Amino acid sequence: MPTDCIFCKIARRELDAAVIYEDDQCVAFEDLNPQAPVHVLVIPKKHLADFGEADVADAQLLGHLCQVCEKVAELKGIAADGYRVVVNKGALSGQSVFHLHLHVLGGRPMDWPPG
Ligand code: 5GP
Ligand code: ZN
């Protein structure tokens, strides 16, 4: 894990975060600047800079992250109403932290198309 990556630091519990779920492969924590009543980030403990860095060897991990998004939605009480999962990749998407993370957003109606 890179020493200077903030999400690696959160995964190692070297940086404070409001962690709501953790297992051997991932951590889920509240976004510092929430964009919805529920805004949780799900990250792999393994450092992958972005979605494009994942390869076939990471297939199980990616599937697990998706399942954890649903678990997070259940924990936050938004699974039944529905929620949005967002992954930003690269400059045009607005990605600002270069450690793969899945945004779980919910608790209000979501606009489409997204901004
Ligand atoms: P991105 O724009 O890369 O898809 O999303 C990065 C997200 O990480 C943003 O929603 C931002 O608010 C969140 N974030 C950035 N730094 C921290 C931090 O130190 N702690 C937490 N909990 N969230 C962070
Ligand atoms: Zn990292």
Pick the residue whose CA is nearest to atom 1 on ligand 1.
95
Q: Which ligand minimizes its atom distance to the CA of 104? A: 1
In angstroms, rounded to a whole number, what is the distance separating the alpha carbons of residues 35 and 98? 19
39 is catalytic: no
Domains of the chain, residue spans: 6-106
Q: Does domain 6-106 have CATH number 3.30.428.10?
A: yes
Q: Which among 39, 99, 101, 103 is annotated as catalytic?
A: 101
Expressed in angstroms and rounded, the spacing between residue 75 Cα and the centre of ligand 1 is: 20
Distance CA 14, CA 111 (A): 36
Residue 44's CB is within 10 A of a number of other CB atoms, namely 22
Per-residue pLDDT of the chain (115 residues; tens, 9 = 90+): 778 999 999 999 999 999 999 999 999 999 999 999 999 999 999 999 999 999 999 999 999 999 999 999 999 999 999 999 999 999 999 999 999 999 999 999 999 999 8
